[in-house]
Amino acid sequence: MHHPIEILSGVYYVGVNDRRTALFENLWPIPRGVSYNAYLLRDDQNVLVDTAEAGRSGFFLENLRAALGGEPLDYVVIDHVEPDHSGSLREVLSAWPEAVVVGNKKTRDLIGRFYGFDGAFHEVGDGDTLCTGKKTLSFVLTPMVHWPESMMAYETSAGVLFSSDAFGSFGTLDGALCDDETDPGGYEGEMRRYYANIVGKYSPMVQKALGRLAGVPVSAVCPSHGLIWRKDPGRVVSLYDRWSRQEADPGVVIAFGSMYGHTESLADDLARLLVEEGVSRVRVFDASRTHPSYILSEIWRTRGLLLGSCAYNAGMLPTVEQLTAKLEQSGLADRLLGFFGNYSWSGGGVRTLEAFGERTGWEVVAPPIEARSATVLSDRDRLAGLAGAMARRLRTDR
Ligand code: FEO
């Protein structure tokens, strides 16, 4: 970039793309990359909102320098200390040592521990304001969206919300920075995967934050990852509202682990039987092939869930085990469940799936199906029973 990009009156985008990191948080695959968004508000006093991950600090500083156009930097607002956003703080303060860092009490504590920061700090609490001339930032503390110190900054004169992780997405900004410059629908899948895996656990806090924003006029949403919403900010707010309410669509996700294809065959049969029962949205995932972050994203929006596994060392296949562990940690609300699998001698796949179901307390729609070795076809009637029970339960759910 390196040339000033004014996305809103007096608001410049100074963020950077990252196409080099394979795993976000060293956990989540990001084949479409990610952006670390940061913003410069130019006014009588200039304010930087957030920085960028340390590995991209060179490009980020060049963007910031270009947007400042030789003017001083007066404030650096740290909405969130997670290093994907605060990772260039040291470099910023080294280049603009006069800048005062703005954050809340917890921010100060965390940047002290992460960066040894003990410089000029302006502490703000919930509802406090910072006037920079024509613009005024009002701070909204939003703990656990996504860390305890997380907050948002709302520019009151134009109604611009700097929302930090909330309303963010995986995926780089490929030339188009804003929702009116591209088809925002192209980001929805990565937005939901980001939500389900990074923010979803804190859905009650997201609801609380949305409640705080109710009635506040928002003309634009500037998150710290992904598209900027200046044409239709209501669209991203309503998506987050739906996901954080955990409203699921009728449909079924089937996720399985299969060593030699026999449990997979059961999954395919179940998928067909569900469609014959009138379930129009069925998605089948091989847990050994698809990263759990993608499967969780699909489960997040889907009411029915059929989990299958062959037996493996008296338990389920480790890739299914990884998925169920993720489900248990995700904060996901109840799903309609069913289990299936396959074994040849002592079993364990279905048994441990049932134990997972008991731990979650989610509703199990029918007894599990467990086939033996390659005798999968003889269990078709029982499979039809499971598919039928799921389809009926989805119908009564409406
Ligand atoms: Fe994008 Fe919680 O950091």
Mean pLDDT computed over 147-172: 96
The two three-digit tokens of residue 242, written as one number: 């739906």
Question: What's the confidence (pLDDT) of residue 222?
Answer: 98
pLDDT at 3 > cutoff 90: no
| Phi and psi angles of residue 244, each rounded to the nearest 5 degrees, phi first | -75, -20
Distance CA 49, CA 69 (A): 17
The reply to whether ligand 1 has any atom less than 6 angstroms from the CB of 80 is yes
Distance CA 196, CA 203 (A): 9
Q: When comparing pLDDT for 226 and 379, which is higher? A: 226
The two three-digit tokens of residue 306, written as one number: 């059929």
The reply to whether ligand 1 has any atom less than 6 angstroms from the CB of 301 is no
Residue 43 Cα to ligand 1 middle (Å): 27
Question: What's the confidence (pLDDT) of residue 334?
Answer: 87
* Closest residue CA from atom 1 of ligand 1: 165
Distance CA 172, CA 126 (A): 31
Atom number in ligand 1 closest to CA 146: 2
Distance CA 21, CA 36 (A): 12
Q: Which residues pair with 306 in a beta bridge?
A: 254, 338
The chain-wide mean pLDDT, for the chain, equals 95
Atom number in ligand 1 closest to CA 224: 1
> CB of 36 within 8 A of CB of 52?
yes
- Nearest C-alpha neighbor of 197 from the set 295, 283, 303, 285: 295
C-alpha neighbours within 13 Å on the C-beta side of residue 156: 13
* Closest residue CA from atom 3 of ligand 1: 82
The reply to whether ligand 1 has any atom less than 6 angstroms from the CB of 149 is no
Which residues have C-beta within 8 Å of that of residue 280, sequence separation ≥ 6?
251
C-alpha neighbours within 13 Å on the C-beta side of residue 282: 22
What does the buried/exposed string (b/e) look like for 335-360 if buried means 16 or more CB atoms within 10 Å of the residue's CB?
Answer: bbbbbbbbbeeebbbbbbbbebbeeb
The reply to whether ligand 1 has any atom less than 6 angstroms from the CB of 84 is yes
pLDDT at 255 > cutoff 70: yes
Distance CA 151, CA 348 (A): 46
Distance CA 205, CA 381 (A): 45
Q: When comparing pLDDT for 374 and 94, which is higher? A: 94
> CB of 309 within 8 A of CB of 277?
no
The two three-digit tokens of residue 370, written as one number: 């467990």
pLDDT at 220 > cutoff 70: yes
pLDDT tens digit sequence for 52-101: 999 999 999 999 999 999 999 999 999 999 999 999 999 999 999 999 99
Strands 75-77 and 100-103: parallel
Share of the chain above pLDDT 90, in %: 92
Residue 168 Cα to ligand 1 middle (Å): 9
Cα of first residue to Cα of last residue in the chain, in angstroms, is 49
Mean pLDDT computed over 346-370: 96
pLDDT at 378 > cutoff 90: no
The reply to whether ligand 1 has any atom less than 6 angstroms from the CB of 298 is no
The reply to whether ligand 1 has any atom less than 6 angstroms from the CB of 165 is yes
Query: Which DSSP category does 99 fall into?
Result: P
Question: What's the confidence (pLDDT) of residue 259?
Answer: 95
Atom number in ligand 1 closest to CA 225: 1
The reply to whether ligand 1 has any atom less than 6 angstroms from the CB of 230 is no
Residue 144 Cα to ligand 1 middle (Å): 11
pTM of the model: 0.93
> CB of 250 within 8 A of CB of 394?
yes
Residue 146 Cα to ligand 1 middle (Å): 7
Distance CA 272, CA 296 (A): 22
Q: Which DSSP helix (H) or strand (E) runs through 34?
A: strand 34-36
- Nearest C-alpha neighbor of 219 from the set 304, 274, 167, 157: 157
Residue whose structure tokens are 């934050």: 209
Mean pLDDT computed over 370-374: 87
Q: What is the CA radius of gyration of the chain?
A: 24
- Nearest C-alpha neighbor of 145 from the set 198, 102, 197: 198
Q: Which DSSP helix (H) or strand (E) runs through 308?
A: strand 302-312
pLDDT tens digit sequence for 111-146: 999 999 999 999 999 999 999 999 999 999 999 888
Mean pLDDT computed over 252-257: 98
The angle that helices 262-276 and 380-397 make with each other, rounded to 10 degrees, is: 50
What DSSP line would sit under 198-251, residue for residue? Answer: IIGGGHHHHHHHHHHHTT---SEEEESSS-BBSS-HHHHHHHHHHHHHT--EEE
Letter for the amino acid at 62? E
